[in-house]
Amino acid sequence: MEEKIDFSGMKKKKKGAAKSTQDAVKNEPAPQDSDAQYEIMINKVFELLKKNKSGVTEKQQRCVVKQPEVVREGTKKTCWVNFQDICDNLDRPSDHLSKFILMELGTDGNIARETQLILKGRHSEKQIESLLKKYITEYVMCQMCKSIETILIKDSSIRMYTMTCKRCGCTRSVQPIKEGYHHMSKAERTKARE
């Protein structure tokens, strides 16, 4: 009464090629190399994405922000010449950007001739450029689609800024500019340690 169990006949069936990959490359000869097949499928995906963009050109996708033009004014002042142009390019009020820059640098300053930002102290172009990049990531760039086509609105009921993306419609609240915070450069940190 002893039964012998034979497992030799129980083998997995081999699956055929996936139908979706056959549909994707049906007009082209089947490449022998899997890398070549992968390249063909990637190209197809990018072609489909380009077709479905509904008229958005590459020029509209990438928006370039000008570099800040910084000039020394006397021995103890720095002038940001194209300040208003950058504010207009980012679609942000000049007082918001100036408040951020002044708080990060821990200095005083004012907007002169409605186009320039005068900063007290010596500040390099690289220093201001790094602060501008930080401002863009915190207050301008959409976190979902990485577009800088956003609107910043101050909600008076909750006293916070709300940023809405024009491209994808994403909405998020952004932190208010912290008063009293001072961005320390590497030289300032080493000086503070001594």
Q: Are residues 105 and 163 in the same domain?
A: no
Q: Are residues 120 and 154 in the same domain?
A: no
Residue 188: inside a domain, yes or no? Answer: no
Q: Are residues 147 and 136 in the same domain?
A: no
Q: What is the CATH number of the domain that holds 97?
A: 3.30.30.170
Is-contact 80 87, C-beta < 8 A?
Answer: no
Domain total for the chain?
Answer: 2
Q: Are residues 136 and 173 in the same domain?
A: no
Q: Are residues 129 and 111 in the same domain?
A: yes
pLDDT beyond 60 at 61? no
* pLDDT at residue 161, rounded to an integer: 85
Q: Are residues 115 and 174 in the same domain?
A: no
Q: Which domain holds residue 109?
A: 65-140
Residue 29: inside a domain, yes or no? Answer: no
Residue that wins the pLDDT comparison between 63 and 25: 63
Kindly report, residue by residue over 80-133, the tens digit of the pLDDT.
Answer: 998 999 988 888 888 889 999 988 888 889 888 888 999 999 988 889 998 999
Least confident of 5-9, 69-73, 154-158, 189-193: 5-9
What mean pLDDT is reported for the chain?
Answer: 78
Tokens describing residue 122: 């010596």
Q: Are residues 153 and 104 in the same domain?
A: no
Is-contact 128 115, C-beta < 8 A?
Answer: no
* pLDDT at residue 59, rounded to an integer: 42
Q: Are residues 105 and 169 in the same domain?
A: no
Helix (H) or strand (E) holding 151: strand 150-155
Kindly report, residue by residue over 145-170, the tens digit of the pLDDT.
Answer: 888 888 888 888 877 888 888 888 88
Q: Which of 46, 41, 15 is nearest to 28 (CA)?
A: 41
Residue 133: inside a domain, yes or no? Answer: yes
Q: Are residues 105 and 170 in the same domain?
A: no
